[in-house]
Amino acid sequence: MDISLLRFSAAVFYCSLLLCLGACGGNDWEPGVVARVNGEPIYMRYLEAKYDFEHFEWNAKQLPQVDDLKTEYQDILLELIVQKLVQEQLKEMGAAVSDKEVKAKEERIRNDYPPGEFENILVEEYVDLNYWREQIKAGLQWERFEQKYLRPRAEVELEEIKKYYREHAKDFYIPRQVHFLLISAPEAGMVKKALKDFQKGRSSDAIRNKYEEVTLHKYSMHEDQVPSVWSAALKGLEPGNSSRVKNHKNNFYALHVIKHEKDKILEPYQAYTVIEERLMRKKERAVFMHWLKNKLKNSDIEISSRLKKEK
C-alpha cells in the first residue's frame, strides 16, 4: 500500500512548529544548501524542482507573492526533511534503499514507454531527471519504512476488529442493487431487434458485431443511485424482463434487468480486511507521529535564515 507522507498532515504541521524554533545556519555552508539534517545537506535545487513540478501550469499574469513563495518553499522543505529522517532510520536498521533498486524501478517505468518517449515527456513537462530519480528513491524509502518500521509496530488484534465491527456495523450496509443491460441505437427498430437477440441468449459481443450502430452496456448500481431517467423504466421489472423502447435526446433505448440483489450487511469475515486496513492506518499514523517526535527531538536540524518564518 502506498501512503504518501503528505497524508500525515498533522505530523508535518507539528514538524513545522518545531522547525520554526530550530537553529538557523548557512554562513559556512557550501553554495546552494538551504538546510541540514544531522549534517546531511538539502539543496535549493530540489526545492525549486519540486515547486516547479507542482506549479507546472504557471500563470505569467499572476506572479507569486514573496511571502506565499516562502511559505510554499517551507512546506516543501519540511517534506524533504522528513524524507531525510526516513532515509536515516532505514540506514540505522540496515535496510537502506540501494542505487541498484532505484535503477531497477526506473527501468520498469521506462519500459512502459516507447523508445525515447519517456525523455520527451520529461522535457515537455519540465521535469528534472535528477529530481525525478530522487522522488523514485523517496517513494521506495517510504514503502520500506512502512513495511519494516511502521507496520510491525501497528499490529491489529482480532478482538479489535470484532469490536470495530460491532460499533460500526452500519458502515457495512449494502443497499439493494440492480444489474441491468442498456441497449441503445439511433432507431427504435434496431433496439427491438438487438433486445430480441439478447433475450434468445445471443452474447453482447455477437449483437455488437451484428448491429454496428447498437451499443450495449451492463450496469450494476444501488437502486437509489440509478439516474431518474432509467429508474422509472426499471420500476417493477423482474429479472429477465425488459422495458419498453423509449426515446431520449434523439436516441432510442431499452433496459433489460439481469438480476436484483437484496440489501444486506456484510458478515464480519467479509468486512475483515476492510476493518483491518482502517485500524492499521490509524495505528500507523500514531506510530509515525511518535517516531517523528522523537526523531526531531534527537536530531540536529538547521535551516537557512532565508527560509525561516518572520517573527
CATH code: domain 5-157+272-307 is: 1.10.4030.10
pLDDT tier at 9, thresholds 50, 70, 90: very low
Task: Answer whether residue 125 shows pLDDT above 80.
Answer: no
- Looking at residues 226-251, what average pLDDT do you find? 87
* Lowest pLDDT segment from 11-15, 74-78, 217-221, 281-285: 11-15
Contacts of residue 113, Cβ cutoff 8 Å, sequence gap at least 6: 121
DSSP per residue, 132-148? HHHHHHHHHHHHHHIII
Contact 268, 58 (CB under 8 A): no
Q: Cite the residue boundaries of each domain of the chain with CATH code 1.10.4030.10.
A: 5-157+272-307
**What is the percentage of the chain residues whose pLDDT exceeds 90?**
38
Neighbours of 158 (CB within 10 A): 9
Q: How confident is the model at residue 134 (pLDDT cuts 50, 70, 90)?
A: confident
Query: What distance in Å separates the CA atoms of residue 25 and residue 178, rounded to the nearest whole number?
Result: 65
Cell numbers at residue 108, please? 520498469
Residue 133 above 70 pLDDT? yes
pLDDT at residue 289 is higher than 50: yes
Q: What percent of the chain has pLDDT over 70?
A: 83
Please write the tens of the pLDDT for every residue from 224-236: 888 888 888 888 8
For residue 265, pLDDT beyond 50 = yes
Q: Is the pLDDT of residue 82 over 50?
A: yes
Q: How far apart are CA 282 and CA 3, in angstroms?
A: 12
8: pLDDT strictly greater than 70? no
pLDDT in tens, 39-61: 889 888 888 887 776 655 444 44
- Residue with grid cell 516562502, as numbered in its chain: 70
Residue span(s) of the chain under CATH 3.10.50.40 come to 176-262
Q: Cα–Cα distances in Å, from 191 out to 23, 80, 214?
A: 74, 59, 7
**What value does the mean pLDDT take over residues 236-264?**
90
The pLDDT of 85-97, averaged and rounded, is 95
Strands (E), the chain: 23-25, 33-37, 40-43, 173-174, 177-185, 215-222, 246-248, 251-261, 264-265, 301-304
Q: What is the pLDDT of residue 98?
A: 95
CA distance 128 to 253: 51
Residues in the chain: 311
Report, as an integer, the average pLDDT of 145-172.
93
What is the CATH number that goes with domain 176-262? 3.10.50.40
Helix/strand number for the chain, H first, E second: 11, 10
